Amino acid sequence: MKSLRRGLTTWLCAAVAGVGALCVVVGNWQAHRETQSQLDYQMEQVARIVAAQDFSARKQSEPLDGPDILPRVNINHDNEDDLIVIVRDAGGQVVYASKSNRHIPGGLLPASGELGFHIKDFGTGQYRMFSAQSNGLNIEVALSMDMISEVESGVALATLLPMVLLLPVLALVIGVVIRRHVAPLDASAAALAQRPPSSFEDLPVENLPAEVRPLVEEINRLMRRVETTVVREKQFVTDAAHALRTPLTALQLQVDVLDGGRDEQEKAARLAELRTGLRRIIRLSEQLLSLARNESAAGPIEEKTDLRQGLDDVSQLYADAARAGNVRVQVECDAPVFVPGNPRRLGLILGNLVENAIRYSPVGGAVSLRTSVAGGRARIEVWDEGVGLAPTELERVFERFYRAPGDTSNGSGLGLSTVDSIVRQLGGSVWLENRADTSGLIAIVTLPVV
């Protein structure tokens, strides 16, 4: 958190400094533009006022820099900053010259050959001039560029000085605010670092600022999801160990009996039981691996599978098992429908349901696979003619390793749990219903159509 605080402070101060530098550049440009505009306007107005004066009554003996045309205002300033004004008649004779002409070499502002604003260099520096003609008079007003630059600097300084003085204060305030707002995060980080790995308690959010509270709340939700995953994995390992211990113990006993037996018929019977137990363990291991692989999968499902092709593949895969139990398997699927997931996942869903339906259907019974599409979802139904389930067991059979009371089959109790896990990951749902027309179950799966 200290590095976070330092990083935020550094970046915000850098941003403030960057904005300040930009303001200085823009302020200088704006000061130059506004000052130049105002001074040009002043020079033009002075020329207009001078042009309105009557110089015909001036006596020849009257000095050229006689009475000021405009009254003086008592302002303390450098006389070199005065506007330089000179008026000539049509013949080039000077009829008026301001006292400030003495700053020009020769004592008089030279005549300009062009009208309007322009810049001239008279040897003592550059001057900005405004030349105009009115009533037979040639009027020229000039101002030192040094004075213009000085005025621009003064305007820029007056504009930017408060901002420059406020930048350090702003940086200090930013640092204090960041420290104050990050302090609760420091406390949360310290509390989190001191927790044991098995603790998933929520981080406190009471004193957190509103800006960071959503982050901490999201962390708490993530911790709850992690806790659920850890608990589920622990339960999975415990259940798997329990489920494997019983058949492995039985296998050990059968091996011991087989090793010590002398009767060939007894050995053959024990060997058959041993093979059956091994097949059961292999099937259980495959189911455990499938369930673990599916639950550990992450990311969006981008593949899709033809549902009708999946039904045909499963019916062919379990054709031998159905013939062995004298059970008919019927598939009712008209149009091709694509559902999310690859063929392996769809095969696990349909295979577990069909295998259960065949196992619990009586000799001579029938298993029916039916599909339909409505509202953008595919509905898959697997009908069997078994004994059904008590209403209280319809949901419990989806728990791992759970088997309904009175179930004497050699199942592991993982099939429906695997189906539920895969279906939920594909965005669907699965449930069981007892048949109303006869005994048996209907396993119903809904999946989105893609």
* Mean pLDDT value across the chain: 78
Range among 60-64, 301-305, 391-395 rated most confident: 391-395
Taking phi over 0 as left and psi of -120 to 50 as alpha, with beta for the rest, 117 belongs to beta
Residue 400 dihedral angles phi and psi, to the nearest 5°: -65, 135
Average of per-residue pLDDT across 327-347: 86
CB 301 within 8 A of CB 412: no
Judged against a pLDDT cut of 60, whether residue 68 lies above it is answered with no
Query: What confidence tier does 57 reach under pLDDT thresholds 50, 70, 90?
Result: low
pLDDT in the model for residue 353: 92
Judged against a pLDDT cut of 60, whether residue 75 lies above it is answered with no
Q: What is the pLDDT of residues 112-125, one digit of tens each?
A: 778 888 888 877 77
CB 116 within 8 A of CB 129: no
Q: What is the pLDDT of residues 163-198, one digit of tens each?
A: 777 777 877 887 777 777 777 777 777 777 777 877
CB 136 within 8 A of CB 100: no
Range among 234-238, 268-272, 298-302, 335-339 rated most confident: 335-339
Range among 70-79, 182-191, 223-232, 233-242 rated most confident: 223-232
Judged against a pLDDT cut of 50, whether residue 30 lies above it is answered with yes
pLDDT in the model for residue 339: 92
Query: At a CB cut-off of 8 Å and minimum separation 6, what does 160 contact?
Result: 23, 24, 27, 28
Average of per-residue pLDDT across 160-164: 75
Percent of the chain's residues with pLDDT above 90:
13
Q: What is the pLDDT of residues 366-388, one digit of tens each?
A: 999 999 999 899 999 999 998 88
In one-letter notation, the amino acid at residue 361 is: S
**178 against 317, higher pLDDT:** 317
Query: At a CB cut-off of 8 Å and minimum separation 6, what does 389 contact?
Result: 397, 404, 432, 434, 441
**Measured distance CA(106)–CA(182) in Å, rounded:** 72
Question: What is the CA 19 to chain-centroid distance, rounded?
Answer: 26
Average of per-residue pLDDT across 285-300: 62
Judged against a pLDDT cut of 60, whether residue 314 lies above it is answered with yes
Average of per-residue pLDDT across 1-16: 66
Judged against a pLDDT cut of 50, whether residue 275 lies above it is answered with yes
pLDDT in the model for residue 297: 57
Average of per-residue pLDDT across 37-60: 76
Q: What is the pLDDT of residues 392-424, one digit of tens each?
A: 899 988 887 777 776 666 666 777 888 888 898
Query: What confidence tier does 433 reach under pLDDT thresholds 50, 70, 90?
Result: very high
Query: What confidence tier does 70 reach under pLDDT thresholds 50, 70, 90?
Result: very low
Task: Look at residues 352, 371, 372, 357 and name the one whose alpha carbon lies nearest to residue 420.
Answer: 352
Query: What confidence tier does 254 reach under pLDDT thresholds 50, 70, 90?
Result: low
pLDDT in the model for residue 69: 45
**450 against 194, higher pLDDT:** 450
Query: What confidence tier does 129 reach under pLDDT thresholds 50, 70, 90?
Result: confident
Q: What is the pLDDT of residues 276-292, one digit of tens each?
A: 677 767 766 766 666 66
